Amino acid sequence: MYVTLLSEPTPVNFAAVKRLEDVTSTRPSRYAAGAHLFYEGDPADYVYEIQSGTVRLTRVLETGCRQVIAFGLPGDIVGFPDGGLHHTECDALTPVVVIAHRRTALEAGEGDPKTHQRLFHAALREISTMQDHLMMLARKSALEKVASFLIALSQRIGRCNGTVTVVDLPMSRTDIADFLGLAIETVSRTFSQLRQLGAIVLETPQTILVRDIGALVKASQAVGH
């Protein structure tokens, strides 16, 4: 997930199955929170279709600083290769269920044509949303970034509860900061600012209630440049 506004896909729940080595392109696999799907530099033998849960894509810069590249949510496909290798690390923030699609089979045109079409469109969508995300990082203020991030999450994983949308954050404040290019203190301060504006309620550190989506949208467009 990059910070773009998409319609919410419907997650699918599957039973637990065996290790990745036993997975084909039609069988789901379950990973515990903290497990790695792949590391940066690993051969990109598979791409992964997220069925449920959240994964985190990260890179470590030469300075030792970490950058969160994206979050994989239900409906996303992660692991597109760079010259045959994974260019990020991918770990599970929550228990996840994925379908691993063997890359060689996809490149050879084997398997279900509808699956090929879905993965092709996913790749195009990733390019487009990545461009939007880079523009957001370069041009938006801290308030606009955090508000845009919460809007995207509410669309993707929020659930309606009366007059509010409940968003259970699968990532930490540090993850959000590393994703949005902000300091963790800035993220926390901006959450408080959005609360004071009446846009959100912080029910718990990891549970946010979107009380006024209009105010949140306004905050995401607050500052001109």
pTM exceeds 0.75:
yes
Q: Please state, rounded to an integer, the average pLDDT across all residues of the chain.
A: 83
| Residue ranges, CATH 1.10.10.10, the chain | 141-220
Averaged pLDDT for residues 41-70: 91
* pLDDT the model gives residue 5: 40
141-220: CATH class: mainly alpha
The CA distance from 50 to 55, in Å, is: 8
Q: Is the pLDDT of residue 223 over 70?
A: no
| Residue ranges, CATH 2.60.120.10, the chain | 20-137
Q: Is the CATH number 2.60.120.10 carried by domain 20-137?
A: yes
Pick from 84, 82, 99: which is nearest to 43 by CA? Answer: 84
Task: Tell me the three state secondary structure of residue 184.
Answer: helix
Averaged pLDDT for residues 87-109: 87
Pick from 25-34, 72-81, 137-146, 180-189: least confident: 25-34
pLDDT band at residue 27, thresholds of 50, 70 and 90?
Answer: confident
The side-by-side arrangement of strands in the sheet containing 66-72 is 36-38, 89-92, 55-60, 66-72
Give the tens place of pLDDT for each residue, 131-190. Answer: 777 777 778 899 999 999 999 999 999 999 999 999 999 999 999 999 999 999 999 999
Pick from 16-30, 65-79, 116-130, 183-197: least confident: 16-30
Does residue 138 contact residue 132 with C-beta atoms inside 8 Å? no
Pick from 16, 1, 3: which is nearest to 150 by CA? Answer: 3
Cα Dmax for the chain: 55
Give the tens place of pLDDT for each residue, 13-22. Answer: 333 323 333 3
